[in-house]
Amino acid sequence: MTGMPALLSMHGVSKRYGKVQANAEIDLTVEAGSIHAVLGENGAGKSTLMKLIYGVETPDAGQIAWNGTPVVLNSPGEAQKLGIGMVFQHFSLFETLSVVQNVSLLVPGTRAELSARIRELGATFGLSVDPDAMVHTLSVGERQRVEIIRCLLLEPKLLILDEPTSVLPPQSVALLFETLRSLQAKGMAILFISHKLGEVRELCDTATILRAGRVTARVDPRDHDKSELARMMIGREIPKISADTTHRVAEDRLVLNHLSLPSQTRFGTTLHDISLSVKSGQIVGIAGISGNGQAELAAAISGEVPVADAGAITLMGKPAGRLSAGARRRLGFAFIPEERLGRGAVPRMSLADNTLLTAHGTGLVRRGFIRRAAERALTGRVIEEFDVRTAGPDVEAGNLSGGNLQKFMLGREIMLAPKVMLVAQPTWGVDIGAATAIRRRLLSMRDQGTAILVISEELEELFEICDLLHVLHAGHLSGPRDPHVTTAAQIGTLMTGASEGDAA
């Protein structure tokens, strides 16, 4: 613009993994002081592009220049030295270490200094987190705060954020945007990867749109409305969710009856006297900010943590509080956890074997032997029906992008035709096309009579699909609310713990 070279420029960059051309002749220019969006569907090549910029992977062809000087980035260490920081979507934290220990692996300084700076940044940017907490006790939202803080402590010139808002409550998103704008004002460039078109339009001054590994457009997102941006991204109109209100609500499938559960870990949340019911043909949503008991509630319902009072949880009318996770599944329960890798799927196992993990009761095992053909056939059906972008059933689960893995896990559970399903953060980190597909799936399952409980931090999503809404805050659950007569602001107030006059 002023003859100054761009902070980062990429020209003709390509990267191929086996048969998949992940990036093809990408041109990308990021100016200092710009907030630049990278938009694209799952598998469009966003993550690959970020890995090339951050030195995790090296391009097969093309040039990368930093301040006009060609550079070859062979490792994240080299990228960090240039001043590139990255907040990952699959977090890059060590679970057995504390927050401050995680930070100290990247940022020089003594423990006391770093703890003070973590608290200070947390206070400034609304990213508060206990420096001495062990990471494995933190919620997804809290872990992201740690990631962002760790990056900011390195004072990067270019900050890459991969789906940063997907786990933040609305208030924190606003705070994060303030943070990012103040960083921008200091001259920092930000690469913002998000599927939330509204946020991109609000925050970013430039957007590079990827489809199938190629750049399809480079626009100022403020000049285009959401549906135009979405069309550039997915190459067609976004399918609308048809709101069917005629579905029949019948018997109780999942009932929580004054469920209380003391915290299992030092930093966990204790659940207090939680009651709700999910009927067949009903989607019930639980709103709230991560770390308010979501993980504990999911663990109690799924059977990961048994409850002393067997009657506190009934599944299909049977007391299930003391049943194991497997026994609950045999009653027709299915669970899609928030942590896709590690809890929802085994990263190093193939998709076929991951299918077997929950579908072993459906004839995939005969006399103790795995029927490989049937296992592969079922996996193939999941991949096809749920539009999982992958080379096939033999690909390791860990190689799938977040959204694709989510589609796979959802498909795997739906294939079991569950009677009750618990889904945590169903569209976390999933782009608009896939998210819409997932929500439509949930609605059609409901219409076929499945009882569905959704735990989500995305209010918009809950309002879109739920028949009833609860809010979880500090281990307490609010009474049910009808989303058709409740505003997002009212729910938001409950999410922050204000009592609003009726705790119901």
> Interface residues with another protein (CB under 8 A)?
54, 56, 75-77, 79-80, 88, 92-97, 101, 104-106
Name the minimum Å distance from CB 223 to another protein: 35
CA distances from 392 to 42, 181, 241, 288, 491 (A): 16, 42, 29, 36, 42
Closest by CA position to 70, among listed 13, 141, 108: 13
| Residue 151 vs 307, nearer CB to another protein | 151
CB of 416 to another protein, least distance (A): 31
User: Considering just the CA atoms, what is the radius of gyration of the chain in Å?
Assistant: 23
The nearer residue to another protein, 104 or 269, going by C-beta atoms, is 104
CB of 350 to another protein, least distance (A): 18
- Min separation Cβ 92 and another protein, Å: 5
Q: Pick the closer one to another protein by CB: 25 or 339.
A: 339
Q: How far is the CB of 254 from another protein (least distance, A)?
A: 35
Nearer to another protein, 95 or 394 (CB): 95
CB-wise, 136 or 272, nearer to another protein?
Answer: 136
- Backbone torsions φ then ψ of 430, nearest 5 degrees: -105, 140
Rounded to a whole number of angstroms, the minimum distance from the CB of residue 145 to another protein is 16
Q: Could you tell me where the beta strands, DSSP code E, fall in 228-289?
A: 252-261, 271-279, 282-287
Give the whole-angstrom CA distance, residue 394 versus residue 398. Answer: 12
Q: Which is nearer to another protein, 97 or 212 (CB)?
A: 97
CA 119 – CA 113 distance, rounded (Å) = 10
Q: Which is nearer to another protein, 105 or 123 (CB)?
A: 105
Per-residue b/e over 270-280, b at no fewer than 16 CB within 10 Å? ebeebebbbbb
Of 405 and 415, CB closest to another protein: 405
Q: Is the dihedral of CA 443, 444, 448, 452 positive or negative?
A: negative
3-state secondary structure of 164: coil
> CA–CA distance from 29 to each of 103, 199, 378, 384 (Å)?
30, 21, 44, 36
Which CB atom, from 150 or from 470, has the smaller least distance to another protein? 150
Beta bridge partners, 28, equal 10
| Shorter beta-carbon distance to another protein: residue 142 or 458 | 142
| CA 171/CA 484 separation, integer angstroms | 22
In whole angstroms, the minimum distance from the beta carbon of 176 to another protein comes to: 21
The SS3 call for residue 338 is coil
Q: Which H helix or E strand runs over 69?
A: strand 69-71
- Picking from 487, 455, 101, 93, the residue whose alpha carbon sits closest to that of residue 291 is 455
d(CA 466, CA 484): 9
Q: Which 8-state DSSP code applies to residue 397?
A: G
